Structure 1
Amino acid sequence: MRNLLVLSCVMAAVLVGCSGEKPPRKAEGRTVDVPVRVAARADAVECRSFPAQVESEQSVTLSSKATGTVVAVMAEEGQKLTAGAPILRLDERELAGQEQALFAERDQARREKEALAARAALARTTMERMGRLLGQKAVSQEDYDKARAEADALARQSEAAGAKEQAVASRLSELAVLRGYATVTAPFEGILARRYVDKGAFVAAGAPLALLDATTGRFDLAAQVDETLLPALRQGQTILAAVPGLAPKPFPVTVAAVVGRIDPASRSFKIKCALPEAVPDAAGPPRAGMFGRVYVPARTAQKLLLPASCLSLRGDLPMAAVAGPDGTLGLRVVKTGGSFAAVAFAGATYLTDSEAFEGQAGDDRFVEIISGLADGDRVACPAGATLRDGDRLASGAGQ
């Protein structure tokens, strides 16, 4: 009985030992072939971005020189026009009526002038005859004076009639010019950016009718910049700009004008930057009104930057895969700062806020590393691949 009890205890102990779970085996590290980037601090030019708008150097608002009703519209908004192309026409019947009245007034003034000229010639002849008779004592001095006065008066009336005719002729010339403005035409080749009136609208003299932007010539990028950056800008300086609708990447522009007057409402000043004649990788010619940004250098500072593809998230924690001396990767939590688009320009690295410019797919976004990495650390940049602790870099990886 005692032996049976001992045997039962031994069997129970064996069964308990066999039923226990085996400890999990640690996953073996993989060999990965991914790009490697060496962390290093470097000088970078921090830029502040400001919204801007493309403006045509030659942009005009066409206004009415006469009062009238729009009777015809010959061009639509967005249409490309050649120099002299008609845009709209005003009713000129009132001007035509005024012109006919002036023609009649001019003819009447001419007839009056001719009649007075004939009377003045007769009075002058009579005066000369009276002068000869006065020398012969055949007429009195009073009769001669009356004849001379009448001749002088008629001569002046004839001159006045001639002046009246000239005045009417001048008014006719002005009216002819005014009738020419009844048809509004494009003064140069351009695009009809806006038409302020439609057919049937009544317009007064001086009212705006259309806005025309030139398609040739220089284009500027105009922006309002914070007043604190006024000392950092000067005419002729080259800075970076971006026009997403024109080109996929930032490009250099030249500051053409710095308006030093500060707007008290926005505490900003205006700058104009000349767009280059050939914008790199431009999808087409610039158009007035396009949205853009200018990047104004604010300061130069040392930063440790890594491409965003070199970081991964574990929950909410950004992590970097750092390679040891033997190539073994270890995940390390890092503290990050701002996100930038980095552009190599004028021998330096210019940092622009990445949220302000949406580049093409594949463009690198750089993240500032505040802590967690040191100069010389080799960071694996998997570009979408998932790395784990213990993974090993393949021989020659990152070279």
Structure 2
Amino acid sequence: MSGGVDSAVAAARAVEAGHDVVGVHLALSRMPGTLRTGSRGCCTIEDSNDAWRACDKLGIPFYVWDFSERFKADVVDDFIAEYAAGRTPNPCMRCNERIKFAALLEKALALGFDAVCTGHYAKVVRDAEGNPELHRAADWAKDQSYVLGVLTREQLEHCLFPLADTPSKAEVRAEAERRGLSVAKKPDSHDICFISDGDTRGWLADKIEMTSGDILDENGQKVGEHSGANAFTVGQRRGLRLGRPAPDGKPRFVLEVRPKENTVVVGPEQLLAVDEIRGIRISWAGVPLAEAASGEEFACAAQVRAHGEPLPSKARVVLRAEAEGGEGTDDGELVVMLESPLRGVAPGQTVVLYQGTRVLGQATIDAARSLSRPAL
């Protein structure tokens, strides 16, 4: 129970379906002021009160579980470490992977519960053999299957998503209104919950040693200086403060972050396009495809952002036992060859694979490149 309208309606539907439901709100910080407040958060004291009121209205027990230490270690510290290494992490992905459907689910099962029910817009269906599969929700505009792509077959066995077939968020709000839930008109949460003022660069400056260095163009020429390479991300346009304009006068974007050299490479927007992605830390959302297990190439669609893509890009994918250069990883390397280039793909982000509405699995992006141009 996050304190939002989606989880409140999901709980109401679970009760109506005859399940024995207990509402749980996760306390993810022992200093609530460090989390976002109002409509911009998801785990504050205000949200906890909203979750309690929803449970009270539904007549179900309500508990607050303290996961603050696990959240700090598995999400916040991971976020800092990834930026320190020059990568761009997705903390919501890590929270789903390590908190909501790992730590929470483990505790729930240990206490005798059968499943974790959430207000995510996604669907679990069974194949012909009864194995669980993760699919997109009916409302593609609100579909959250991307951020759930980290779920494993074992976790999907214990997941309930009552909003899966709801055609729109407007219908969820209308239902909340009919049920007398006070969160019916509460705005959606967004941004990073543990960065209270939304200033990621400023927040990181207190956690990572920032050293000034050079900003280079695609030809290796110095065009400016930065106050810390780790605070930049691929695809970034604002905040570059370049001393020398581009020859064509057009904006420049971050093409690469090199933390070891403490340099940032910028260039024209067209150089952001990549057509090959290599991923590590691979997991499969259900039973893996036979081709994945055998190392054969298979066709699918690839998505690298939670929102903003009306359709994911078509791709050919192969799972290799060893990374390029002979250095293996624990679970191999996923090579995603895109039919149409994508822009602004940064190491540390997540690539999620689909066939139709089904989520096949995901990998953390280790490298992305264009095969049509030389390396920068």
TM range (shorter): under 0.3
Question: Which structure has the higher relative contact order (CA within 8 Å, separation 6+)?
Answer: 1
Bigger CA radius of gyration: 1
TM-score, with structure 2 as normaliser: 0.24
TM-score, with structure 1 as normaliser: 0.23
